Amino acid sequence: GTFLVQHWLGAEGMPRRYPDYLSSDGFTALNTVSTISSFLLGLSMLPFMYNVWKTAKYGKQVLVDDPWGFGRSLEWATSCPPPRHNFLTLPRIRSESPAFDLHHPGISQVDHLESAGRRDVVEPGRGAAPPLGGNKGDK
């Protein structure tokens, strides 16, 4: 409500940086809407600032790299803050979820999907839709 209304007022020809406007200009109603919206925008920051303060004062510090245990990307596999070179050796990447594979080496997402009766893996040459010329491998 604050910035979009100001855009509309500018498109209607309201000059910028004027301290007062004539009521005959027709900008009063939209300026009132913009003013009320800007106060609401300011008030909406209060719960956010309270949450930041409460978390900083009473929140528990997270001491593990992946607090939920299901991080997928490599940034969840290193400490926070990360060491100078992140990893001492180049990690082996066998799937699109290398951190999950590191934390749960016995579980593979493909195995999990297949055991649930789903087959979401698209094999090479067998896409979800045939190419425009038809699937030449099928006869």
Question: What six digits make up the tokens of 18?
Answer: 């004027």
Look at residues 122, 124, 119, 120 and name the one whose alpha carbon lies nearest to residue 137: 124
Cα(13)–Cα(11) distance, integer angstroms:
5
Report the 3 state secondary structure along the chain.
CHHHHHHHHHHCCCCCCCCCCCHHHCCHHHHHHHHHHHHHHHHCHHHHHHHHHHHHHHCCCCCCCCCCCCCCCHHHCCCCCCCCCCCCCCCCCCCCCHHHHHHCCCCCHHHHHHHCCCCCCCCCCCCCCCCCCCCCCCC
Q: Where are the domains of the chain?
A: 2-43, 57-123
Kindly give the confidence (pLDDT) of every residue in the chain, 139 residues in length, as a single tens digit, with 9 standing for 90 and above: 889 999 999 999 988 888 777 888 888 899 899 999 999 999 999 999 999 999 999 998 888 888 887 888 888 888 777 888 877 888 878 788 888 887 777 776 555 555 555 555 555 555 555 555 555 555 4
